[in-house]
Amino acid sequence: MTHAADLPVWAALLTGFFLILGSTLTLLGSVGLLRFRSFYERIHAPTLGTTWGTGGVLIASMIFHSVLQSKPVLHEILIALFVTVTTPVSLMLLARAALYRDRSEGNDGVPPFEAAAESRNERRRSSNT
Amino acid sequence: MSGVIIAWSVTIAQLLLLAAMACALLRLVRGPRAQDRILSSDALYVGAMLLLLTFGIRAGSTVYFEAALVVALLGFVSTAALAKFLMRGEVIE
Amino acid sequence: MSALVPYPLLTASLLMMWVLLNGLSVGQVVLGGIIALAASLAMAALQPVKPRIRRWDMIPPLALIVLADILRSNIAVAGIILQGRRHARTSGFVMIPLELRDRTALAVLACIITSTPGTAWVEYHAGNGMLRIHVLDLIDQQAWIELIKRRYERRLMEIFE
């Protein structure tokens, strides 16, 4: 850890703050993953880690390397962009797969397939009368 | 002074991330269903990626960045493929 | 111009990615520019539906709103997780009738809703425009419908339609 000693104190404090913020949020997300009772509640938990959890650690890494090399090191933005775009896609795929499986097995607490069309008809009926 | 701050905060962050990965691993073992396991394996990938970045800060080099990028990529592809598999029962249609 | 660079946004972001990965120098910018141009020409050969963006100036305010919302709901969900089981909480599905039809705008809305902790996009019926989302802390269904429609859908419609 000799190289870090050259770092100004403000940069070290900022890096430490964002590091601990990010990793705490990631830990909270994982605790939620463990604690929530149903799958549809659990799907909310990892987004903590993938939004500001990842964001915090990436900002810390950017500050640290930029100050250490005294030039902007911004390639962490690529990971941030990648994670922001891909997490919703994989979570949506998972939610749809879970819904499909629950429906095909007839489990409780799952909205039926035709509910969408029904509620629309209801709205149309109520607007007609 | 700043060396001490960085050393301590990196150590704390790594311990927190390890705890996060342990929680995800516990959910992976417990299940109860396949979608829960896939969700927690995705959380494990994110934890591993962040852990690599903290290693990069500890070592003061940017070589860990490429590894983190590859882990993030693999995590997305495997989660998407497994979710697709759950939906249809086949990975490639 | 559009015949030479069929997808200016894609070309620019590929070039930016190349420079970020390889460092900023004249040689890398030229090489990255050639590769980005070749990739965008290859993309044009696939002939995907081209997204039309009407109002560029509306994008930064929307991005700021989304970032602030993500931060706020991060804190809210962290609070829910820390409170544990002492706090009575109901979660459930909400149906939202959407007027948005543009496919790119729907994809952006899906990313916004799913990446905000506390709400998740579950399914969308393209036929009648009904969207089903799952909300972690569901108190008032109507309030969520109003929120999504007023906060995001109206802005996305201004940008894309």
Residue A107 has pLDDT above 80, yes or no: no
Contacts of C100 (CB under 8 A, 6+ apart): C106, C109, C129, C153, C156, C157, C160, C161
pLDDT (tens digit per residue) in A45-102: 888 888 888 989 999 988 888 888 877 778 888 888 888 888 888 888 888 888 888 7
Residue B11: give its domain's CATH number.
Answer: 1.10.287
Does C104 lie at the interface with A, CB-CB under 8 angstroms? no
Helix (H, G, I), strand (E, B) or coil at C135: strand
Residues of chain C with pLDDT under 70: 1-4, 50, 84-88
| Among the listed residues C127, C95, B37, the one whose alpha carbon sits nearest the alpha carbon of residue A98 | B37
Q: Name chain A contacts of B50, Cβ cutoff 8 Å.
A: 22-23, 26, 49, 53-54, 57
Inter-chain CB proximity A47 and C71 less than 8 Å: no
The predicted model gives A92-114 an average pLDDT of 76
Cα B42 from Cα A95, distance rounded (Å): 13
What is residue B20's predicted lDDT score, i.e. its pLDDT?
92
pLDDT above 90 covers what percent of chain A?
Answer: 9
DSSP notation for C50-89: PP--S-GGGHHHHHHHHHHHHHHHHHHHHHHHHHTTSS--
Residue A116 has pLDDT above 60, yes or no: no
Query: Considering its fold, how many domains does chain B have in total?
Result: 1
Residue B36 lies in a domain: yes
Residue A109 has pLDDT above 80, yes or no: no
Residue B59 lies in a domain: yes
Smallest CA–CA distance, residue C76 to chain A, in Å, is: 10
Check residues A52 and A120 and name the one with the higher pLDDT: A52
pLDDT above 70 covers what percent of chain B?
Answer: 95
Domains of chain C: 8-46 (no CATH), 56-160 (3.30.1370)
Does C82 lie at the interface with A, CB-CB under 8 angstroms? yes
Cα C122 from Cα C108, distance rounded (Å): 15
Does A101 lie at the interface with B, CB-CB under 8 angstroms? yes
Residue B7 lies in a domain: yes
DSSP A85: H
Q: Which of C81, C93, C125 sits opposite A28 (nearest CB)?
A: C81
pLDDT (tens digit per residue) in B30-55: 878 888 899 999 999 999 999 999 99
Inter-chain CB proximity A9 and B5 less than 8 Å: yes
Smallest CA–CA distance, residue A56 to chain B, in Å, is: 10
Residue B22 lies in a domain: yes
What is residue A6's predicted lDDT score, i.e. its pLDDT?
75
What is residue C25's predicted lDDT score, i.e. its pLDDT?
83
Q: Is the peptide bond before C51 cis (omega within 30 degrees of 0)?
A: no
Smallest CA–CA distance, residue A7 to chain C, in Å, is: 23
pLDDT (tens digit per residue) in B7-28: 888 899 999 999 999 999 999 9
Residue B24 lies in a domain: yes
Residue B93 lies in a domain: no
Residue-range definition of the domain harbouring residue B62: 2-88
